[in-house]
Amino acid sequence: SSKLQVPEALTFDDVLLRPKESRVEPDDADLTSRVSKSVEVSVPILSAAMDTVTESGMATAMARHGGLGVIHRNMNVDEMVEEIERVKSADELIIPLDSVVTADPEMTVREVDERMAREGVGGAPVVNTNGEVLGIISSTDIRPHLEVNEDDLVTEAMTDEVITAPEDIDPREAFELMYEHKIERVPVVDDENLLVGLVTMQGILQRREYKEAVRDEDGRLCCGVAVSPFESERALAADEAGADVLFIDTAHAHNMNVIDGAREIKESVEADIVVGNVGTREAAEELVDFADGIKVGIGPGSICTTRVVSGAGMPQITAVAQVADVANEHDVPVIADGGIRYSGDAIKAVAAGADAVMLGSYFAGTDEAPGRVVTMNGKKYKQYRGMGSVGAMKSGDSDRYLKEDPEDDDEYVPEGVEAATPYKGTLKSELHQLAGGMQSGMGYVGAGTIPEFKQRSEFVRVSSAGQAESHAHDVVITDEAPNYSPN
Ligand code: RVP
């Protein structure tokens, strides 16, 4: 029967990268890539839009370290807006007016001191009711000088010859200004000397620490957010709040209703839109004319049971390769989402044609992921659950796997499980291992950049004997490696 003449589909363990002549040292391999048409990243890695993986804390850390976090959508629209704003304002050069702690000229030294302590800042511009900057007060102006009485007006203790900065100041100028005058903070004023914000030395030094950070054109950290194709209000709010990429977040984006919704959203927002998930050439063909990125993955996720529950799916290397065949031709970036356990899987996904990879379980055990650390049998874990698990479906308003809330728990038909993953420490060290392993792969193939690697890499097919050989074998592991644990 022709029904039984079926094509083969491969996944990570079925293939290896063929080693090639190389002059590329892994450290020199450049991981710069794109996650969508207009968002470039320093490392091609995204954290999954899951309620045990990405909220503002994770998204901030991901962007600071060169990748992109995608905030999940198991929260209401107001909470989502707040989460986006937290990321966008985390490393802002100029703290905006509504977040600046100020002092009124009628306040006493004591009152100002208390306000600054409460807000956790070391200084405050003194501003009159018109918003004009009269001076600046810092805790060092107050405490060490016995001449200053706690009941004095702040205007007696403040520095009144204030150094201010214009609104278009850049980080270098701000640094030089503060360095020259040996000051810690500079009020930013408009043409009429009205306060519009504040630049602090602490903020500048923090920005300098993150050389690889992914920022928008105003210097704010980039972030992605998951939205439903059927909830344009959420998409518009996310766009308004400054999200850089909207991820149309579905389990099956070759559903034509999803595509209609995604198209409509694309027309009304400024942000890039990435549509997913898909796993075939035909699905990619429906998306390439309007999507700014395509996300691939039908069932590969560690907590995902879609393939067993529904009988449908596509092994991930084949899925990525099929989608990339179409998408690369139209210059639409591809993201490989799910199933990545090791850095080797991540770079194999790129070899198959992905421009970036998305991971859930790999990051769920880090400090930056939401959720607390639990101890079982003396080992530390963090909660990690599928967005199609009963727990996640119940606690959110997500329609990724569900159209309507059932009345009884046992009416849910989940496509994911609730689990725990070993506690791993900081995101920074996990990302370092992941990116470092990917660079090694580029070294073995002799490609210095991601586009070159996509061109130059070739796969060999691996048998199950070959796969057993790949893992540590015939030994007892005595010390844990930071980037490997046997399956
Ligand atoms: P992994 O990195 O293998 O843990 O996979 C994470 C991915 O799994 C997510 O980015 C998402 O595409 C998918 N996922 C999330 N929830 C579920 C589910 O409940 N089936 N699947």
Is the confidence at residue 18, as pLDDT, over 90? yes
- 222 labelled catalytic: no
Is the confidence at residue 402, as pLDDT, over 90? no
Average pLDDT of the segment spanning 130-158: 82
- Taking residue 394's Cβ as centre, other Cβ atoms within 10 Å add up to 13
What is the per-residue pLDDT for 405?
66
Q: Which of 387, 399, 400, 487 has most ligand 1 atoms within 8 Å of its beta carbon, as the pocket-test mutant?
A: 387
Average pLDDT of the segment spanning 377-396: 91
Per the CB < 8 A criterion, the answer to whether 296 and 323 are in contact is: yes
Q: Which residues, judged by CB distance below 6 Å to any ligand atom, belong to the binding site of ligand 1?
A: 48, 50, 277, 297, 301-304, 306, 337-340, 358-362, 386-389, 415-416
Placement of tokens 């090639």 in the chain: 20
What is the per-residue pLDDT for 12?
98
What is the per-residue pLDDT for 398?
54
Residues 6+ apart with CB under 8 A from 318: 8, 9, 10, 11
> What amino acid occupies position 243?
A
Is the confidence at residue 145, as pLDDT, over 60? no
What stretch of H or E contains 39?
A: strand 39-41
Residues 6+ apart with CB under 8 A from 478: none
**What phi, psi does 318 have (nearest 5°)?**
-65, -40
What is the per-residue pLDDT for 291?
98
Measure Cα distances from 85 to 24, 223, 237, 241, 300 in Å.
40, 10, 11, 6, 32
Q: Which of 35, 50, 68 has most ligand 1 atoms within 8 Å of its beta carbon, as the pocket-test mutant?
A: 50
Number of residues that make up the chain = 487
What is the per-residue pLDDT for 81?
97
For the chain, the first-to-last Cα distance in angstroms comes to 38
How far, in Å, CA of 132 to CA of 109, rounded? Answer: 19
Convert the pLDDT of each residue in 215-233 to its tens digit. 998 889 999 999 999 999 9
- Ligand 1 mean position to 126 CA, how many Å? 50
How far, in Å, CA of 394 to CA of 81, rounded? Answer: 22
Q: Which of 250, 303, 430 has most ligand 1 atoms within 8 Å of its beta carbon, as the pocket-test mutant?
A: 303
What is the per-residue pLDDT for 400?
62
- Ligand 1 mean position to 301 CA, how many Å? 4
Is the confidence at residue 84, as pLDDT, over 90? yes
pLDDT band at 403 (very low <50, low <70, confident <90, very high): low
> What amino acid occupies position 3?
K
Q: Which of 147-151, 221-225, 457-461 has the lowest mean pLDDT?
A: 147-151
Placement of tokens 């900057």 in the chain: 133
Measure Cα distances from 365 to 82, 300, 341, 382, 420 in Å.
24, 19, 13, 5, 8
Token couple for 234: 């959420």
- Taking residue 222's Cβ as centre, other Cβ atoms within 10 Å add up to 24
Give me the percent of the chain exceeding a pLDDT of 90.
74
Placement of tokens 């070899």 in the chain: 351
What stretch of H or E contains 316?
A: helix 316-329
Average pLDDT of the segment spanning 478-485: 87
Q: Which atom of ligand 1 is nearest to the CA of 251?
A: 12
Q: Looking at 73, 234, 263, 400, which residue is catalytic? A: 400
What stretch of H or E contains 359?
A: strand 356-359
Is the confidence at residue 254, as pLDDT, over 70? yes
Is the confidence at residue 404, as pLDDT, over 70? no
- 208 labelled catalytic: no
